[in-house]
């Protein structure tokens, strides 16, 4: 089977372009017109490849790399061979991301499945929908009445855009995604299979059965949000579910009704956020963590993976564990348990003796 390359670097990307992008000079001894044709990790890189070095764990073997150009921090720059053009910069990983975006612009967001642009045959667009010039629509897309889609947007195969939905400009909707009861800002990416704006989980429970509570709110997604594949965001019950500007949400995340997520938050895979929870700006929730409903997680707080949030978390704090508590406290508790386990029966006796002594002091 022939080797297939899904992303091809821009044909004219060279050391001069890289230097200009990073605001640096081409290293001495290297030609500005030397072409870069791919990106690879240090150990797999070949000639004409770009790589980066940011983690000291890879420094020991960095001198073996065959990469033609490497972006690196100042502390590790001397670990690289003279055969590669070394670009020293403060934040190598971020710089590498910018370089990749310039080399492979097609990888920044899902592309149309059906090659080309414009409205593909086999799509179903209601006559009352409004699409600005420059919208790309794949086959099998369904766009409902009074939906509005801004210029530069791409709706991939099989996606459904519900009645009255608003999509801003340069929005990308991945294959098979469903967007209903939702207003979306500009430069938003929603990946394949996402479900946005469906019913929130609301029932008035009782002995006669569980009475469904109508969910009459919306989902508001602000500018530059990215939402991963197969993530679900419920519309509000009696107010809006809101995803703040610049927030990045991973695959397989569940966000309940009336949740408000601030700006530039990071929500990692398999997180579950229950209804009416509020996140401030720049909150990070690690993979498989979750929260009960009606709690507030303050601005800048960080939640460790698998943590279970059952109460409010102050701004800027780092919590982990089940139930979640401040990270230092959680760490001390784990260390104590490990120590007791290693000591076996002696550890338990010491703990009981300490407990008896504490009671005697009361």
Catalytic residues: 257
Beta strands 124-125; 318-320: pairing state: unpaired
User: Distance (Å, rounded) from C-alpha 187 to C-alpha 67?
Assistant: 33
Beta strands 211-212; 203-204: pairing state: antiparallel
User: Distance (Å, rounded) from C-alpha 358 to C-alpha 362?
Assistant: 7
Radius of gyration of the CA atoms of the chain, in A: 26
Residue 31 burial class via C-beta count within 10 angstroms: exposed 0-12, middle 13-18, buried 19 and up:
exposed
User: Distance (Å, rounded) from C-alpha 113 to C-alpha 281?
Assistant: 35
Q: Provide the 8-state DSSP code for 119.
A: B
User: Distance (Å, rounded) from C-alpha 137 to C-alpha 162?
Assistant: 15
């Amino acid at each position: 089977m022939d080797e297939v390359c899904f992303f091809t670097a821009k044909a004219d990307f060279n050391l001069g372009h890289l230097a200009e992008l990073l605001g640096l000079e081409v290293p001495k001894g290297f030609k500005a017109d030397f072409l870069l044709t791919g990106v690879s990790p240090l150990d797999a890189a070949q000639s004409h490849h770009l790589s980066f070095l940011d983690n000291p764990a890879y420094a020991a073997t960095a001198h073996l790399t065959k990469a033609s150009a490497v972006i690196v921090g100042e502390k590790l720059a001397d670990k690289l061979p003279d055969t590669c053009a070394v670009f020293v910069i403060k934040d190598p990983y971020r710089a590498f991301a910018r370089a990749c975006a310039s080399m492979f612009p097609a990888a920044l967001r899902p592309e149309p499945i059906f090659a080309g642009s414009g409205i593909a045959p086999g799509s179903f667009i209601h006559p009352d929908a409004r699409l600005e010039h420059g919208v790309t629509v794949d086959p099998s897309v369904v766009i409902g009445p009074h939906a509005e889609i801004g210029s530069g947007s791409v709706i991939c195969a099989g996606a459904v855009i519900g009645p009255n939905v608003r999509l801003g400009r340069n929005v990308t909707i991945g294959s098979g995604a469903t967007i209903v009861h939702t207003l979306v800002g500009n430069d938003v990416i929603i990946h394949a299979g996402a479900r946005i704006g469906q019913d929130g989980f609301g029932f008035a429970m009782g002995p006669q059965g569980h009475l469904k509570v109508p969910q009459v709110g919306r989902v508001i997604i602000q500018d530059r949000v990215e939402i991963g594949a197969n993530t679900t965001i419920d519309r509000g019950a009696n107010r809006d579910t809101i995803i703040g500007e610049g927030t990045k949400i991973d695959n397989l995340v569940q966000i309940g009704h009336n949740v408000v997520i601030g700006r530039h938050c990071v929500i990692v895979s398999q997180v579950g956020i229950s209804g009416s929870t509020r996140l401030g700006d720049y909150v990070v929730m690690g993979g498989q963590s979750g929260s009960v409903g009606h709690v507030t997680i303050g601005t800048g707080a960080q939640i460790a993976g698998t943590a279970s949030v059952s109460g409010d978390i102050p701004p800027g704090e780092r919590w982990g564990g089940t139930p979640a508590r401040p990270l230092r406290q959680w760490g001390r508790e784990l260390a104590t348990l490990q120590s007791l386990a290693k000591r076996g029966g002696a550890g338990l006796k010491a703990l009981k003796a300490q407990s008896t002594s504490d009671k005697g002091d009361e």
